[in-house]
Amino acid sequence: MKSIVLIGFMGAGKTTVSKELSTALNARSVDMDDILVERIGQPISEYFEEHGEASFREHETKLLKEALNEETVIATGGGVILQKENQKVLADKLVVYLKADANVLIKRIREDKVNIRPLAIKNDDGDLKRLFFSREKLYEKLAKITVDTSEKTPAEIVSEILQQVEVIS
Ligand code: S3P
């Protein structure tokens, strides 16, 4: 199995889908944000405050390269597509874009009381929408497969990913 890399904006469902997809494939799943929290030893929002986003992005790039050395299902953080280095690394990988309507994403982000995102704290809904639109083309460009998750259950999304993987393999 080739590694499958899930990309998409915050709230797209990358974590949930990666767990279900890895179960379906009997593969390991790597949640980059979870590992990064362990590595930096504090919540991402605190790390952004104390060390800045650029430092977080360095950890993220290092981890992405490590994660890609193994055959896994990888749930990335929403900003992984920003770094040129990451874009290069992802160019020939099986990248799946979990797409959703901007309003759906913002609703999910605001309702998530467990995962407090630094970019959601400092940005209002209008800013988040602009951030989404500024990244949308990058997600689309890097994706080999795109699944619209707006009105689908994780099981439906997994089954669509598996179907599309078969088509392009
Ligand atoms: C970020 C998304 C977050 C996390 C960090 C930055 C982003 O991950 O990596 O807060 O820049 O979009 P999720 O997409 O899992 O929320």
Q: Distance from the CA of 11 to the center of ligand 1, in angstroms?
A: 9
Phi and psi at residue 97, to the nearest 5°: -95, 115
Instruction: Enumerate residues lining ligand 1, CB below 6 A.
Output: 10, 14, 33, 44, 77-79, 117-119
Q: Which CATH architecture has domain 2-166?
A: 3-Layer(aba) Sandwich (3.40)
CB 77 within 8 A of CB 36: yes
Question: Which atom of ligand 1 is closest in space to residue 131's alpha carbon?
Answer: 12
Tokens 């599309």 identify what position?
Answer: 164
Distance from chain centroid for Cα 39: 18
Write out the chain's pLDDT in tens, 169 residues. Answer: 789 999 999 999 999 999 999 999 999 999 999 999 999 999 999 999 999 999 999 999 999 999 999 999 999 999 999 999 999 999 999 999 999 999 999 999 999 998 889 999 989 999 999 999 999 999 999 999 999 999 999 999 999 999 999 988 8
Question: Euclidean distance between the first and final Cα of the chain, in Å?
Answer: 11
Q: Whole-model pTM?
A: 0.97
Mutate which of 48, 106, 117 to test ligand 1's pocket (most atoms within 8 Å of Cβ)? 117
Q: Given this model, what pLDDT does residue 30 score?
A: 97
What 120-124 contacts at long range (C-beta under 8 Å, 24+ apart), as own/partner pairs, is: 120/10, 121/45
The DSSP result for 80-123, as a single string, is GGGSHHHHHHHTTSEEEEEE--HHHHHHHHHH-SSS--HHHHH-
Q: Distance from the CA of 124 to the center of ligand 1, in angstroms?
A: 16
Q: Distance from the CA of 77 to the center of ligand 1, in angstroms?
A: 4
Smallest CA separation from ligand 1 atom 11, residue: 79
